[in-house]
Amino acid sequence: MKEKIFLPSPALAQALAQRESLRVIDTIADNGPYHSRRAFLDDYRDMVNTMKVFVYPCSPRDPFSHIFLPTSSAPSGNYASEAYFKKALAGSGMVTDDPSQADLFFMPFSITRLRNDPKVGVGRMPAFVRDYVKNISHRWPYWNRTGGSDHFYVACHSIGKVALEKAQHVKLNAIQVVCSSNYYVQGFIPHKDVAIPQIWPRSESFREIKTIEQRKVLAFFAGGSNSPVRANVVRTWRNDTQIHAYPSRIQGSYAEALLRSKFCLHVKGYEVNTARLGDAFFYGCVPVVIANHYDLPFSSVLNWKSFSVVVTTANIPKLKAILSGISREDYSQMHRLVLDARRHFQWHAPPREYDAFYMVMYQLWLRRHVVRYPLH
């Protein structure tokens, strides 16, 4: 007996096709600041419910315990993202004491604390990291079965590049979760490594955001001229009435300057990353990224083109024409998406849904599939 095959009527087929078409259109229209909102939210929930990380242990009595254990005080300073991640992970419920259940393995040494430790410092840091990785690979079997490809460390200070000078296999194999995500400079490998935002600690909640009409300044930047790019921005626009560019701290309120501006310039200094990206989101200002070769944070999830303007350094003289050419309608859409995305650019300990910690963990979750040799 032949199997019956159901064929929809032409009218039903047309209705199904229209429904699918509308679904696709709705999905595209509702993606917000994401490449695909639906894909992200589905994967995110799976990640939160299933992901486990094994943290290589350290005794509080160890003379270098301050290098490895989370700080008891609130993270502070320009490189607080590193400390915030460690504190948030400890309070997230994602840590497992059973390595066999772990998706990834965390090497919790702090680059910032190594740099500031008088017994280590910048000079002894490469040997310290080399010996640490050698120790865990001899004491535990997990590094050797993957060559470290399911291991990661976190560093926000650019000195992290120096830290791995005597551990090149870590740089090449492990996942580097770093603020200085410059894919032009040897050391950061896109798709393997993870870019995290450099965010200044804030005790206050999100500021009340000024309306578009209240933002009278076209663009704003203030910062030390510690790179040719910044010097070029200030030299080109310091006397302009619409773009306010200052070579150092401004007199008056930095926060109010951000709140009054439509666009806020993120201009590379020594490195491609600065805390100004986080500042822009916090104050509801559309970021303008002037940092060639910057692998922007969370770029596998966030569609940066939808809520920011990326300008090459060669186009600094054209900056006013580029920004003035953005229509009010397009700017309004970008501003709305900045407000949608800014929850991803705040740290909390313990972490909160969709904050910077969970976004970093999502990036790691996407990289968790590795080939593992069986343990004997």
Q: Mind listing the pLDDT tens digit for each residue in 127-161? A: 999 999 999 999 999 999 999 999 999 998 777 77
Does residue 336 sit in the same domain as residue 218? yes
Under 8 Å between Cβ of 183 and 296: no
Does residue 234 sit in the same domain as residue 320? yes
Three-class SS of the chain: CCCCCCCCCHHHHHHHHHHHHHHHHHHHHCCCCECCHHHHHHHHHHHHHHCCEEECCCCCCCCCHHHHCCCCCCCCCCCHHHHHHHHHHHCCCCECCCHHHCCEEECCCCHHHHHHCCCCHHHHHHHHHHHHHHHHHHHCCHHHHHCCCCEEEEECCCCHHHHCCCCHHHHHHCEEEECCCECCCCCCCCCCCEECCCCCCCCCCCCCCCCHHHCCEEEEEECCCCCHHHHHHHHHHCCCCCEEEECCCCCCCHHHHHHCEEEEEEECCCCCCCCHHHHHHHCCCEEEEECCCECCCCCCCECHHHCCEECCHHHHHHHHHHHHCCCHHHHHHHHHHHHHHHHHHCCCCCCCCCCHHHHHHHHHHHCCCCCCCCCC
| Residue 13: inside a domain | no
Does residue 272 sit in the same domain as residue 148? no
Does residue 243 sit in the same domain as residue 279? yes
Rounded to whole angstroms, what are the CA distances from 62 to 57, 117, 137, 300, 328?
11, 14, 19, 38, 58
- Residue 206's pLDDT is 65
CB atoms within 10 A of CB 354: 17
- Residue 26's pLDDT is 39
CB atoms within 10 A of CB 183: 16
Does residue 236 sit in the same domain as residue 338? yes
Beta-sheet strand order (sheet of 217-222): 243-246, 217-222, 261-267, 286-290, 309-310
Query: What residues have CB less than 8 Å from 140, skipping those under 6 apart?
Result: 56, 99
Whether the full predicted model's pTM is greater than 0.85, yes or no, is yes
| Residue 234: inside a domain | yes
Question: Structurally, how many domains does the chain consist of?
Answer: 2
287, β-bridge pairs: 264
Does residue 280 sit in the same domain as residue 331? yes
Does residue 280 sit in the same domain as residue 363? no
Does residue 161 sit in the same domain as residue 187? yes
| Residue 163: inside a domain | yes
Please report, for the domain that includes residue 274, its CATH number: 3.40.50.2000
| Residue 39: inside a domain | no
- Residue 20's pLDDT is 45
| Residue 287: inside a domain | yes
- Residue 187's pLDDT is 75
Under 8 Å between Cβ of 148 and 170: yes
Under 8 Å between Cβ of 255 and 285: no
| Residue 358: inside a domain | yes
Those residues of the chain that have pLDDT short of 70 are: 1-29, 184-186, 203-208, 370-376
Under 8 Å between Cβ of 151 and 109: no
Burial group, residue 57, by CB count within 10 angstroms (0-12, 13-18, 19+): exposed
| Residue 14: inside a domain | no
- Residue 28's pLDDT is 44
Under 8 Å between Cβ of 144 and 364: no
- In angstroms, the CA 333 to CA 330 distance is 5
Does residue 130 sit in the same domain as residue 242? no
Domain residue limits at 287: 212-345
| Residue 225: inside a domain | yes
Does residue 132 sit in the same domain as residue 144? yes
Nearest to 293 by CA among 270, 272, 324, 323: 272
Does residue 362 sit in the same domain as residue 337? no
Does residue 219 sit in the same domain as residue 283? yes
